[in-house]
């Protein structure tokens, strides 16, 4: 997705948020939200489109198209600035708290005069907030948690945003004369879910011209520090990027040095010290005479310490050094291992691309199979009906023979507050695959939320729990549940946990993946794509899965289709009593056998 599209997405989402604060028309608010989502996933750069071309984009009408044109031609949108002037800056600041919605932010301002995060925190601690109608102890606790999340997230970018900046810089510097090699390192190379700053490493015998070229890149807005071996800049996206240039012969040592977490690197240096060695970005040296041992490749550095090469995504000091010493590091799942996507949407519900476009894109990715899982009927905003879902199934049956992959008809069910899902067993039996997710009532107490998720695992027709913690990075905290109980239920019933690849979800998080794997849980790395462009997010789900030490055998969508079907059927056969209606054969969309 191009940066102009991201800018328009943010602009339209701000429109929606500000309209929410000013009690705007709910349909108009929804129109801006839908347009923002569509633009975010649109494959073409919208800054190059004229008015009529913009109006051809789904969910983009004349008014919104005109605002997009105005934004790119003048750098401002007059109607947005007018909205901003209607709403105090303090209210807009309050809306950055993940657990506080725009209307409640306006209530806090008008009724209590609260216009900053600090004032809200003081009001909570003093007990003043609890005196306000609608703001009881539970709400106060949620707001404090939101303030904590905000503090942790400030200055940290989503991995996808950091990756876009890093790859643009690496591409530009790699083309410079004298640059022998260039790569990003640090937490981005480890695929952390958020990144504080971006580390870029280059090898060159002439660092000065390379540093100068770096400071002159179009995306650089400020040079923070400039030197012969390290330069720091700030980009148009607000990210700090540090470039370090090392001699070509030091490349491997530098890449190792600037990739691992602080804890990982301390442990590696301790191992070196015990061997009479010292490790720096320039190489591994003998302490006694400062002679160089190795420096050119990471593999040489680790091997000289009697360690196998450790994949960057594991370098967090979570047992990888011990495994490297024993020679039993996991063979991590890769993008090449993924045979199909098991959670995707079309414009039948809240997707922005047609069924044909999504299938065509799946074929282009070389998938063996592909599941269409539009939302089920218990989310009224999606306007799903039984008839619409059955019509989609018939259309899939007709399309199945025209595409070079196996087409699976699925759905994303809604896990209700009591753990039930949208349809009865007879209707559910007609799907090839069923993802079930929590989409509402995120604030349920721990015991109720745990029961809700466990009950969904025990449903014989729920194959995957989608985005299990429901978190949205920098926006919404995870639900409060006993995930040990959930993982135990998932392993016992044969229910997979999703690793959702959307950059603002990455859910399950890597720490929870590690816990779930201990219970024997299987996983599905899915994109939850709502547009063709979203299929490219798979890389972030795979990176998160690697951080959770997952192998191809742990991930059900690396398996051949026959094994995947056996996994799905095995759960149904275990949990559905013989002779019931739920055992009726699934009506599949005519996929080839």
Query: Any idea which of 143-152, 175-184, 314-323 has the lowest mean pLDDT?
Result: 143-152
For range 282-296, the mean pLDDT? 95
Task: Burial-class residue 496 by CB neighbours within 10 Å (0-12, 13-18, 19+).
Answer: buried
Beta bridge partners of 435: 412, 464
Cα angle: 83, vertex 89, 92; to 5 degrees: 75
Q: How far apart are CA 139 and CA 443, in angstroms?
A: 10
- The DSSP secondary-structure symbol of 511 reads H
Which of 24-28, 197-201, 481-485 bottoms out in mean pLDDT, i.e. has the lowest? 24-28
For 162, other C-beta atoms within 10 Å of its C-beta total: 25
Kind of pairing between the strands at 277-280 and 240-246: unpaired
- Identify the pLDDT of residue 587: 42
pLDDT given at position 324: 97
Q: Is the pLDDT of residue 284 over 70?
A: yes
* pLDDT computed for residue 209 by the predictor: 94
Q: Is 205 helix (H, G, I), strand (E, B) or coil?
A: coil
How do residues 44-72 score in pLDDT, each as one tens digit?
A: 888 888 888 898 888 888 999 999 999 98
Question: What domains can you pick out in the chain, each with its CATH number?
Answer: 1-82 (1.10.150.110), 88-154 (1.10.150.20), 157-243 (3.30.460.10), 252-326 (3.30.210.10), 340-583 (3.20.20.140)
Contact (Cβ atoms closer than 8 angstroms) between residue 185 and residue 258: yes
Percent of the chain with pLDDT over 70: 95
Q: What is the pLDDT of residues 27-50, one digit of tens each?
A: 788 888 888 878 877 778 888 888
> pLDDT grade, residue 24 (50/70/90)?
low
User: What was the pLDDT predicted at 310?
Assistant: 98
User: pLDDT confidence of 249, banded at 50, 70, 90?
Assistant: very high
Q: For position 580, what pLDDT does the model report?
A: 58
Put the strands of the sheet holding 406-414 in their side by side order.
340-341, 369-375, 406-414, 433-437, 464-465, 496-500, 523-526
Angle in degrees, CA 408, 409, 415, rounded to 5: 120
So what's the pLDDT on residue 578?
65
Provide the strand spans (E) within 220-326: 220-226, 230-235, 240-246, 277-280, 283-286, 292-294
Residue 193 DSSP code: S
Of 476, 470, 502, whose CA–CA distance to 101 is shortest? Answer: 476
The 10s digit of each residue's pLDDT in 507-542 is 999 999 999 999 999 999 999 999 999 999 999 999
Q: Where are the beta strands (DSSP E) in 405-471?
A: 406-414, 433-437, 464-465
Query: In the prediction, which pLDDT does 590 show?
Result: 42
């Amino acid at each position: 997705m191009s940066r102009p599209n991201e800018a328009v997405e943010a602009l339209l989402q701000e429109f929606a948020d500000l309209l929410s604060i000013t009690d705007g028309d709910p349909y108009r608010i929804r129109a801006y939200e839908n347009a923002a989502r569509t633009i975010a996933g649109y494959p073409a750069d919208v800054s190059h489109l004229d008015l009529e071309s913009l109006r051809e984009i789904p969910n983009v009408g004349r008014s919104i198209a005109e605002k997009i044109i105005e934004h790119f031609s003048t750098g401002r949108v007059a109607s947005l600035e007018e909205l901003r002037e209607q709403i105090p800056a303090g209210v807009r600041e309050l809306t950055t708290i993940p657990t506080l919605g725009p209307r409640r932010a306006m209530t806090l301002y008008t009724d209590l005069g609260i216009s900053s995060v600090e004032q809200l925190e003081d009001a909570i601690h003093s007990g003043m907030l609890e005196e306000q109608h609608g703001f009881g102890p539970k709400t106060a606790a949620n707001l404090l948690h939101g303030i904590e999340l905000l503090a942790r997230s400030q200055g940290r970018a989503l991995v996808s945003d950091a990756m876009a900046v890093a790859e643009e810089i690496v591409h530009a510097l790699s083309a410079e004369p004298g640059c022998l090699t260039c790569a990003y390192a640090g937490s981005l190379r480890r695929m952390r879910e958020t990144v504080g700053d971006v580390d870029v490493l280059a090898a060159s015998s002439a660092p000065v011209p390379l540093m100068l070229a770096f400071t002159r890149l179009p995306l650089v807005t400020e040079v923070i520090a400039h030197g012969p071996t390290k330069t720091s800049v700030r980009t148009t996206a607000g990210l700090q990027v540090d470039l370090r240039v090392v001699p070509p012969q030091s490349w491997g040592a530098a890449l190792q040095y600037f990739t691992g977490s602080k804890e990982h690197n301390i442990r590696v240096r301790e191992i070196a010290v015990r061997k009479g060695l010292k490790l720096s970005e320039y190489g591994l040296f003998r302490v006694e005479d400062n002679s160089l041992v190795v420096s050119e490749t990471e593999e040489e550095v680790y091997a000289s310490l009697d360690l196998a090469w450790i994949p960057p995504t594991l370098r967090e000091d979570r047992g990888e050094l011990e495994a490297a010493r024993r020679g039993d590091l996991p063979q991590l799942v890769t993008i090449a291992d993924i045979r199909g996507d098991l959670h995707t949407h079309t414009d039948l519900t809240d997707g922005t691309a047609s069924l044909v476009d999504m299938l065509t894109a799946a074929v282009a990715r070389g998938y063996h199979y592909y599941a269409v899982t539009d939302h089920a009927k218990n989310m009224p905003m999606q306007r799903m009906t039984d008839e619409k879902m059955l019509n989609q199934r018939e259309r899939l049956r007709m399309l199945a023979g025209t595409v070079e992959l196996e087409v699976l008809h699925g759905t994303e069910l809604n896990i209700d507050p009591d753990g039930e899902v949208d349809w009865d067993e007879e209707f559910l039996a007609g799907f090839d695959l069923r993802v079930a997710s929590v989409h509402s009532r995120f604030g349920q107490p721990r015991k109720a939320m745990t029961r809700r998720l466990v009950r969904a695992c025990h449903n014989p027709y729920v194959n995957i729990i989608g985005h299990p913690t429901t978190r949205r990075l920098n926006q919404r905290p995870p639900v409060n549940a006993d995930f040990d109980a959930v993982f135990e239920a998932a392993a016992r019933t044969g229910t997979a946990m999703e690793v959702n690849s959307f950059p603002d979800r990455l859910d399950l998080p890597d720490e929870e993946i590690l816990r779930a794997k201990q219970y024997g849980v299987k996983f599905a790395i899915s994109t939850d794509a709502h547009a063709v462009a979203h299929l490219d997010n798979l890389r972030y789900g795979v990176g998160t899965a690697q951080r959770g030490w997952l192998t191809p055998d742990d991930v059900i969508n690396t398996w051949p289709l026959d094994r995947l079907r056996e996994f799905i059927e095995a759960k149904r056969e275990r949990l559905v009593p013989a002779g019931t209606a739920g055992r009726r054969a699934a009506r599949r969309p005519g996929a080839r056998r």
